[in-house]
Amino acid sequence: MRALILGGTFNPVHIGHLFIAEEVRTTLGYDEVLFIPAFLPVHKDTRPVLDAAHRLRMLALAVCGHPPFRVEDCEIRRGGPSYAIDTVEELAADGRFTGKPGLLIGDDLLPGFASWRDADRLARMVDLVVVHRSGVPEAATCFPHRVVENPVLGVSSSDIRRRIAEGRSIRFLVPDEVRLYIERNGLYA
């Protein structure tokens, strides 16, 4: 099976994550998308990060009923900082995908890709797939990659957290099951 890896904090998961995963999966012909929540993100300052168990549960709710989407908890089980190279090596060793997986990143992360742990080796192990998130022109990089021409949805986890803290609605920004989970558990308020 051709797998596409989508890692992130998912604090919380939202429609932008789901839309872009499906857009890339269908455009590039991947069989499945592996959503991998970071235990401790190293490339974003996303403080405060909600407890991993809540983020994992929201992801499971968000992808339920769509078989091409699967949640992998390897970074959470591993603990500590989450590095893509460690995750790709672990998933490959466990046989969770066949062939070279796609690694989906936003164009906002491309300029700093060279600073990722073992970036050269990681770039050889995956097909780097870049999507538009920032709306700015593509940055130059020496790493081979493929750009998917996608619409940019104006939704972000930080905006959702801010809206919740302000008592505003997040309906239609996250799947209903995720919204209800957030409300039932009093998250981000």
Query: Who's near 62: CB < 8 A, 6+ residues apart?
Result: 13, 17, 18, 174, 175, 177, 178
Nearest CA to 161 out of 180, 174, 177, 175 is that of: 174
**Which residue range is the domain that position 62 belongs to?**
3-185
Q: What is the CA radius of gyration of the chain?
A: 16
Rounded average pLDDT over 103-130: 95
Burial 36-64 (b: 16+ CB within 10 A, else e): bbbbebebeebeebbebebbbbbbbbbbe
Structural domains in the chain (count): 1
Q: What is the CATH number of the domain that holds 114?
A: 3.40.50.620
Q: What is the pLDDT of residue 134?
A: 73
Q: What is the pLDDT of residue 43?
A: 64
Rounded average pLDDT over 96-121: 94
52-100 residue pLDDT tens: 999 999 999 999 999 999 999 999 999 999 999 999 999 999 988 889 9
DSSP code, position 39: S
Whole-model pTM? 0.94
